[in-house]
Each structure stands twice: as C-alpha cells, then as structure tokens.
A and B are shown apart, each in its own frame.
Chain A
Amino acid sequence: MSANRHKRLRLTKAEKRETAWFYLLISPWLFGFFALTVYPMGASIYYSLTNWNMFQTPKFLGADNYIKLFGNATFYTALYNTFYYALIFVPVSMIISLFLAWLLNRNVRGRQIYRTLFYIPTLVPVVVSALIFMWILAPEGICNQFLALLGIQGPSWFYDATWTKPGLIIMSLWGLGSGFVLLLAGMQGIPQELYEAGYLDGTNAWQEFRHITMPMLSPMILYNLVMNIINALQLFTQPYVLGSQQSMPGRAGLGGGIDNSFLTIVQLLYNQAFKQFKMGYASAMAWVLFVIILILTLLVMKSSEAWTYYEGESR
C-alpha cells in the first residue's frame, strides 16, 4: 500500500487529518517515551557525572564515577558473577528448551500435559522460587540427600563460594518454560511438507533437526537468545532474596553471599542507589551495564546473519 504512494511535499487535508489522529492516538506512548525514557536517560547520564545523595545538590565530578568504578574490585566481582551466570545459563536453558520442544513435537501422546507441566514453574514468583530452592539446595537438603543415595557428597551450594552460581543457574533453569513454549509453538508452525520431503530422502532425526527444524526456527531462536541475554545480565531478585536470607537484618553488607560470590551488577547497583544513596555512582554503573548489553546484543544480531533464515530469503 505504501509502496505506490509518492513522496509529495504537500499532504491532502485527509492525510493531514490522519496524521494528526495518528499522533493523537499514540500520544500516551509518546508522552511516556519522552517523560519516562528519553528524559530519564539524559538525566541519568548527567547524574553519572556527579556525586549526589538525593539530599544535597549534585556535585559535578566529570568522569570520576567511571574511573572509580573501573578501579573497584567489587564491581569486577559483580561483573564476573553476572557473566558467569549469563554465559552458562543462556546456552544451557536454550539447549534444554530446544530438546524438550523437539521431543514434544514428535506427536507424543499427552503433549498438552507435558507442556503445561513444563510451563507452570514460570508462573511461580521469583521470590518464591528463590526461597524454595534455598531449601532444596540446603547443605542437608533434598538435593544433597538424593546425591548421597548415589554416593555423591553434595556441596553446600549457597554456602560455598564455588557453588553459589551453579545453584543460581539450577534455580533459573526451573523457569525455562516460557522460552520452551515459544520454541514449541515455533516448531509446530513449521509446514509438515518440509519434513515429508525429507522423509522421502531418507534423512535421520538429527539431519531433520539440523537441516529443517533449526533453520526454520532460527528467527525465534535469535529472539529468545537476545531476550535471555538481556534478562540474564539484569539478574536481581534471586540473589537479592538469597542474600537477605543469609545475613542478619542489622548487617550493612551487600547481600551477595559468601565472598560476594553471587553478587550481580544490578544487585550492586541497587545497593549503591537505594541503600547507600550514591545516585551518581549507581547511574554510572547503569550506563556501563547498558553498554555491555548493547554490545552483546549487537554481536549476537551480527553473528545471526550467518545462521538465521527468513522465509522468502534466497541463499
């Protein structure tokens, strides 16, 4: 429709009216965009260049906050923890979701039931899943009891600095249902003829998956990947709940567990902003996080050109 409209300098009266209505109708979003996104982002840049505790007037510092941030060992710890979590959780959850979706896509009886069972954990609030996993992965908890049956001495999970992050990852994997459902829906949307053609050629299951399912699903995988990365890098609630269970109420620590082994960037940021009221420093941290997310997203998108396939595209 818009292809055969010519670019004209003058709009007809009807077009002007339509344009006016368009902007009127999107005005709620437009207002929110400027008031709650554009202005805050600008203000946040400014704050990040100041020392400000919300009470006194901001003191302009220039790049000091950023310099301080990159010289701070705790920030690197948080950065390391967050990346450790994201780099393992995102691929593992993607592989398990793909595998489960693929299994269910093979005309399995009771598909609805399985799908529901895998999805229901995503309905559990993160606070609750953090609390229940704290018990499951307790040093004497049911997970370690089970491992003991197999003759394995389980670690103390959230009380052992090397096992806190794997514990967090296991906890998050319980909620992989939302991505799984999306992938399953995508697989079911792949036209059956494609597989039938393959069947005649005598392809095996792996070849079928590799050459038909994966390419057809690639845009959805990409979407999932990007959203998972963005979310994983913003991990907050699980470590926050765990951390506050582990320290006593009066303690002014960061709540990042033993040796800050599960302190994430957003948790550190929350601490700086809403416990220490260092708004400038916290804003600088937010921008560093933003840049990291932006770079990673762009890298994934760029690399995806090699492995995603869109219908109607010629190769």
Chain B
Amino acid sequence: MKRLTAILLSLVLLMALAVPGVAETAKIELTLSHWGSTADAEVYQARVDLFNAQSDTIHVTINYIPEDYATKITSMMSSGTAPDVMVVAEEANSFAYRGQLLPLNDYLSEAGIDLVASVGQACVDAYSYDGSIYGIADRAGCSVLYYNKDLFDAANVAYPTIDWTRDDFLAAAQALTEESDSADKVWGYVQEDWWPYWMSWIYGGGGCVVDEEGNIAVNSPENVASLTFMRDLVGEYGVTPTRSQLASIGTGATASSLFASGKAAMYCTGAWGIASFKDVEGLNWDMAPLWDKAAPAFGSAICISSSTPYPDEAFEVAKFMTSVDAQSMIAQACEDVPANLEVLNSDDFLKAAWSDREINMNVFVDSVDITFAPPTTPEWASWTAVWGELLDPIYDGEGDPAAILEEIQAQMQQVRDDL
C-alpha cells in the first residue's frame, strides 16, 4: 500500500516536472522560433544574444526547429502555444488568414518606421495580407545561379550573364555535360524537387501560377512549353540527372553535394549556398543572375503571434532583429541576404570580406529587377504540395506536361474551394 502510494506520488512528481515551469524572473521571457542550418542557428543566436545584452526588461529564448518548421508552428498555433516571435517565410499569409499573426501597422507607425524605405515595396507586400502588414522582412534575396568556373573553362563555354536566354542555358548545359553512360559523370545542371526550381521555369517562360486577377492560371500554353523544356532537360537532352541517377551516385547525394564535389556545372539556390561552398577546397565557383530574367524571391520575416501576452515587448524584439545592427550580422557572417536595403548596399555585404578572391556579390543587387514574388496566398502550403506530388514524372524526364498541368489546375482549384 505504501509502495503504491509512493509510486503514485513519484508519478505525479514526474508529471509536474514534465510541464515546463514558468520561471519567476524580473525580465519578461519571450520565445523566438526559427528553422535553418546550424550556420543559420549560430547567427540567430548571436543576434538574440546581442538583444538580450542590451535589454533590461526582456529576455529572449530561441526555439530552433530544424525540421518541419511550418507544420510544427501551425500545430503550436492551433493549441495557442505559438512562440511570441516567429521567423516566417512563405506561410505568412496562411497564418495571417487564420488570424494567428499580429497586424503591425499601428506598431510601425507609432515607432516611426517607414518600412517601404528600409526594405522596399516588394518585401512589404510579401508579408501583407488584406491591407495589413504582418511581418518585418528579415532575410531577402532570390535564387541565383551558382556555376563552376573550372568546368566552364574546360568546356570552353562563356560564363553566364543576366542576358542569358533559355537556349543559351541549354547550349551551355549540353556543352558542359560529359559524354558518358556513368551516373558519376559531370552534369550540366542539377536541380531539386523544391518549388523555386519549377516556378522559375514557369515564370521565365512568360507564364504564371496565379494571374493578376488572382485566378489560377496554370494550364496555359506558355506553361506547357516551360514544363516540356524542364522535362526534356532530363529526358531528351540528358543534361540533368534523374532522381535515381542522383541516388546511384551515392546515398545522400543531393544536387547541392554534386555541385560541391565538382560533378555539376550549374546549380541554383539562395544566398545560403555561399556558406556551403565557400570552404569547399578546389571548388572554383561564382554566381550569376538566373537566365530567362525570372528569379523566385526568397526571404523570411519576423512576425508576432496574435496570442502573445506581450505584444509590445515582442515588437521590440522584431524591431531590433530587423535593425541595421542586427542585420549587419547576417551580412558579416554571409549567412543570407539581409532585407534591410541599407545593409544590402553596404560594404559589409557587397565586399564579401570572408572570401580570398572576387565573388560577384552584386548578383543580388542585379537580380532585384528580375525577381518575381511567388503566390504566397493562404493556399500556399497545399498548393506547393499539389505541385510537388504531380511533378514527380517531370523530374525523371517523363510524363505529359499538358495533362499534368490540367490536373494541377483542377487540384489547385479544389484546394481553393475547400479553404
């Protein structure tokens, strides 16, 4: 009997331990969540440390969620336990639509911040929904083309420029691809099955996902042509490996690791690619704006949960994170493209102090005019899931683009009707 009581007591005790306790401290405790690589995590930590050091009233703790970020945040929101301050990317509008984010217009005007002046109109629009601003842009930039200079030189191909067309790209990719049956050869171009890859083809071909009136416009002739081209890169032209070819190079081989190992001449990703490639020995690389004059915009904003008990304090954190001081840390660590225009145009970012040779950091400035905004409506997560699923054959160089686009059109409409 006594033993049983003891067991039950210790059980209750254990459960009490399981509930994260609210520590009684003088400072107000806030949580900030983000995703990303360990390199990203270090920079966020450094920025938050700086904030904590200079604030007498607020203490911020980081909740780093490396996997399934949007899912985990949505789940926390549904249970009213969302972090006070969140780094949010393309899901900002979905969250705003569900009433989970705090509108910041009043806070911004009270603080006298002119957001358009500091980050530009595009970065304001990306995090605005229904006339309200829900996030302060933190990281920006767009997809750029990383290319291996040595491979270009060896194949006697001129380096890419902003004027490249789709045909220039194909000609280069064909010249760069090694003639061999082995999967372990040099490929002209490698891609991943992530939305920026297919979307840059769609927008580059003059098509769109959602037209100016907001209607889904996927099954257009332009898009059929673009998708056919994307398919043929893998199938007919054979300049890009299929996913099983990629896998047979080695387990865990990714498009990015192929580029890093000098087995791919061209690869597209955001500015975080710099951090991955700068320390790779023997890799002589540089960056150029995407061909076709269409670069998908990347970025994230600092948003505030609508359920935070401390909205004023949370805004202080958001304001600090997007200040010139904190943004400079992104640039100095060459983590990503800072959204703040002043920092973007500063030598901190453009001079690339971390590199021992010339790197074309201006690519991010040059790309501004060719950047397009992805349709980050509240349907975003479901829409990209539809594309991700139905494009499968295209990545293997197979499938009928017209039929696939018809099906995507129908399923996207279905998602919209179900919203």
Contacts and interface: CB of A to CB of B under 8 A. Distances in A.
Q: Do chains A and B touch in the complex (CB under 8 A)?
A: yes
Contact of A260 (B66, B67, B248, B392): B392
Contacts of B27: none
A134 interface: yes
B99 interface: yes
A51 B414 CA distance: 13
A156 B392 contact: no
A228 to B, nearest CB: 30
B193 to A, nearest CB: 6
Interface in B55-87: 66-68, 71, 74-75, 77-78
Nearest to B396: A258
A277 B67 CA distance: 17
Interface residues of A, number: 35
Interface string B382-394: 1011001100110
Interface in A153-192: 156, 158-160
Contacts of A138: 250-251
A254 B78 contact: no
A159 to B, nearest CB: 4
A139 B247 contact: yes
B244 interface: yes
B416 to A, nearest CB: 13
A74 interface: yes
Contacts of A310: none
Contact of B251 (A139, A244, A250): A139
Nearest to A51: B418
Contacts of B75: 274
Given A55-B98, A248-B254, A277-B78, A254 B385 contact: yes
A159 B249 CA distance: 11
Contacts, number: 83
The winner among B78, B98, B251, B381 for most chain A CB atoms within 10 A is: B251
Contacts of B382: 276
Contact of B389 (A51, A74, A159, A250): A74
B178 interface: no
B381 A156 contact: no
A288 B388 CA distance: 25
A249 B67 contact: yes
A112 B79 CA distance: 50
A156 B382 CA distance: 31
Contacts of B194: 248, 250-251
A234 to B, nearest CB: 21
A245 B253 CA distance: 11
Nearest to A68: B414
The 6 closest A-B pairs by CB, nearest first: A159-B247, A253-B388, A138-B251, A139-B248, A252-B384, A252-B385
10 contacts: A51-B418, A55-B78, A140-B248, A141-B251, A158-B247, A159-B244, A254-B385, A258-B243, A260-B392, A271-B385
